């Protein structure tokens, strides 16, 4: 029996987003995950499937309240997704009437808690600032990569390449982003952020996400941007990030990088047996 055959009535899912960074969330805590690379890619098709920036599978964990597996819309896996982590944290806290929980991800165990105004905060951990952990192909100056535009590289459980520009609205996000995503310096490809410094406490950001393309928001990217901008001497460690989909607050503290912002529940649905049969 395949995993999909364990779901004769279809696969239930939730659709949520954090600032327009949208997710399909599947609860596999009581059964096996139905998701393979092929199925993830089919669900990610916005015209023929559901569409998402990331798909999240929730499973049981011995080390945390829940374990998360992240899939990109191209069918690849990712170790980290900040906004998706905040969305799932809200679900688990609401489900169990808790103010604080832990999430096991490929980037370690993350602490999440409820904040004011219904916002959800998650500690995304410490940034990776060693070239081989990001990873890069070779040792270079992480704040001045040998790439046109002299971007910075930061790891947040996934790789990020951060460009400082005068006006993010003038950037060819898809054209430039897709080129840098596959740059030879990044053996596992990279997320690409373009940022505009407003002042030492405020940054404007646009993101081309590895495996997903242009996104309205990227939580791990906002954390990477905060690190890169501060290490370049451009901002403080506590900043507001203004993305195409809204605002995140990032605070780089001694225990890690805290990201705070809203989450939104959109709808419940069921992936039909007909749909699932078509992608076997």
Q: Which residues are catalytic?
A: 81, 218
| 226 Cβ contact list (under 8 Å, min separation 6) | 203, 235, 237, 239, 241, 250, 252, 257
Distances (CA, A) of 220 to 136, 138, 213, 245, 252: 18, 23, 15, 15, 12
Distance from C-alpha of 262 to C-alpha of 280, rounded to nearest angstrom: 36
Indicate the SS3 state at residue 182.
coil
Tell the burial category of 268 from Cβ atoms under 10 Å away from its Cβ (0-12, 13-18, 19+): exposed
Q: How many CB atoms lie within 10 A of CB 92?
A: 17
Task: State in Å, rounded, how far the first CA of the chain is from the last one.
Answer: 13
- 248 within 8 A of 241, measured Cβ to Cβ: yes
H helical segments located in 55-129: 82-96
DSSP 8-state code for residue 38 = H
What are the tokens at 114? 């409820």
What are the tokens at 223? 């954390």
- 63 within 8 A of 89, measured Cβ to Cβ: no
């Amino acid at each position: 029996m395949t995993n999909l055959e364990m779901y004769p009535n279809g696969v239930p899912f939730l659709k949520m987003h954090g600032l327009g960074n949208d997710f399909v969330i599947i609860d596999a805590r009581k059964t096996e995950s139905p998701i393979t690379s092929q199925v993830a890619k089919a669900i990610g098709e916005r015209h023929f499937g559901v569409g998402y920036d990331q798909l999240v599978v929730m499973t049981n964990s011995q080390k945390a309240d829940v374990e998360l597996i992240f899939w990109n819309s191209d069918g690849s896996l990712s170790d980290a997704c900040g906004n998706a982590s905040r969305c799932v944290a809200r679900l688990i806290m609401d489900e169990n009437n808790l103010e604080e929980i832990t999430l096991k991800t490929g980037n370690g165990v993350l602490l999440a808690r409820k904040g004011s105004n219904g916002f959800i905060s998650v500690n995304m951990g410490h940034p990776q600032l060693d070239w081989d952990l990001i990873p890069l192909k070779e040792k270079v100056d992480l704040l001045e990569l040998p790439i046109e535009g002299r971007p910075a590289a930061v790891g947040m459980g996934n790789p990020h390449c951060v460009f400082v520009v005068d006006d993010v609205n003038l950037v060819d996000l898809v054209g430039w982003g897709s080129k840098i995503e596959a740059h030879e310096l990044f053996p596992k490809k990279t997320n690409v952020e373009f940022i505009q410094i407003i002042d030492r406490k405020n940054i404007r950001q646009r993101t081309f996400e590895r495996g997903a393309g242009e996104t309205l928001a990227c939580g791990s990217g906002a954390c990477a941007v905060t690190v890169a901008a501060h290490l370049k001497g451009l901002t403080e460690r506590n900043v507001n990030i203004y993305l195409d989909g809204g605002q995140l607050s990032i605070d780089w503290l001694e225990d890690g990088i805290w990201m705070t912002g809203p989450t939104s529940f959109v709808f419940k649905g069921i992936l039909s047996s007909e749909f699932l049969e078509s992608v076997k």
